[in-house]
Amino acid sequence: MDDLMVIGIDHGWSHMKTKNHCFVSGISEIESEPIVYEHVLEYNGKFYRIGGERLKVQEDKVSNENYYLLTLPAIGLEMKSRGVNTAHVALAVGLPIGRFGAEKRNFINYLSKNKMVKFRYEKKKYTVFIERVLVYPQCYGAIVSKLSEMYGQEFVVDIGSWTVDTLKVIDRSPDESSSGSDPNGLITCMRKIEEQCVKQMNTKIDEYAIREVMIKGDANLDKEYIDIIKSELVKYTKSVFRIIVEQGVNVKTTPITFVGGGAALMRRYGGIDQKNISYIEDVRANAIGYEALASLYLSKRMKKEA
């Protein structure tokens, strides 16, 4: 246990995130040995290009090998950052609050099906022993660093790629009875933008450009496209506030923290400048929180067993 390396991973539909890294949740098999090994995973005699176009959203993340394979470069990148190529690992991961109980056991089994894994990423060899898989709710993981500042009742909104997760926190403890997941995350928003671009401009627009406008407020696009995107983003932020209000939350008085990939979007396009609204814009916040929660849990367990 003393040598156990805890690695937090947020398996997003758009991006894979760890404490130190973030890359697009895309993977495609390469038929022959690649010429360039940048972003290339080698596993079980096959080569895979990591990144590029994100995977299509499916019912869950355990129905095929894609997210297992994406987990390997996430582990490898963290091991590289920590200066090792062999490690006994505890994976700290997350699931949407609304599906946490139903999917937790399957996700653990999926990620721990091989106790020892050997692979290469960007030609660097890694040997990993999966000792534990600990699963935490999305949304709660993202506020771990802020928990010490939370008093009374607060409301956390995690706007991810596929879901908008909400959680009430009372005196720094999560109130699961008030949690929920709404399947109208950022991908839904981007689809509506694409539909409007086709409808109004008769042309499609790249997801990357939409994300640029989401995060930076601008992109290398004609003004007509920028205007369509911004108009739809404003509509989307209003829909997020409706989700919050429908849960009985007073958005004018209740302390609300927006986290996840949509936090920057809400700050830029939400049109609300109030002291009760705050933002955690680091997209790695959940992965960092999972890792902190798992490290604390394992440390306490070691003390009990000592």
- DSSP assignment of 55-106 equals PPP-S-SSSSSHHHHHHHHHHHHHHHHTT-SEEEEEEEEEE-GGGHHHHHHH
Does 1 have pLDDT greater than 60? no
* Distance from C-alpha of 17 to C-alpha of 259, rounded to nearest angstrom: 14
What pairing do the DSSP bridges indicate for beta strands 124-137 and 15-18? Answer: unpaired
The CA distances from residue 288 to 4, 30, 31, 175, in Å, are 17, 32, 35, 21
Asked whether 288 and 22 are in contact (CB, 8 A), the reply is no
Locus of tokens 């000792």: 131
Going by pLDDT thresholds of 50, 70 and 90, the confidence category of residue 120 is: very high
Residue 166 scores a pLDDT above 80: yes
Q: What is the mean pLDDT of the chain?
A: 91
Helix (H) or strand (E) holding 272: none
Report angle CA 237, 59, 26 to the nearest 5 degrees.
75
Q: What is the pLDDT of residue 175?
A: 81
* Helix or strand holding residue 277 (H, E): strand 277-279
Q: How far apart, in whole angstroms, are the C-alpha atoms of residue 95 and residue 10?
A: 9
Q: pLDDT grade, residue 279 (50/70/90)?
A: very high
Q: Could you give all domains of the chain from N- to C-terminal order, each with its CATH number?
A: 4-137 (3.30.420.40), 141-186+208-285 (3.30.420)
| Cβ contacts of 152 within 8 Å, gap of 6 or more | 170, 171, 255
Which two tokens mark 148?
């010490």
Confidence category of residue 122, pLDDT binned at 50, 70, 90: very high
Global pTM? Answer: 0.90
As a whole-number percent, the residues of the chain with pLDDT over 70 amount to 99
Compute the residue count for the chain. Answer: 306
**pLDDT of residue 306 exceeding 70:** no
- pLDDT of 284: 94
- Tell me the CB-side half-sphere exposure of residue 181, using CA atoms within 13 A: 16
Structural element, H or E, at residue 50: strand 46-50
- CA contacts within 13 A on the Cβ side of 236: 27
133, pLDDT greater than 90: yes
Residue 199 reports pLDDT greater than 80: yes
User: Is residue 177 very low, low, confident or very high in pLDDT (cuts 50, 70, 90)?
Assistant: confident
Residue 73 confidence class, pLDDT cut points 50, 70, 90: very high
Nearest to 8 by CA among 261, 282, 280, 289: 289
> Is 293 in contact with 25 (CB distance < 8 Å)?
no
What confidence score (pLDDT) does residue 163 get? 87
Contacts of 175 (CB under 8 A, 6+ apart): 167, 168, 169
Question: What 3-state class would DSSP assign to 259?
Answer: strand
Handedness of CA 45, 47, 51, 52 (dihedral sign): negative
Question: In terms of DSSP bridges, do strands 27-30 and 153-159 run parallel, antiparallel, or are they unpaired?
Answer: unpaired
- 164 touches 157 (CB < 8 A): yes
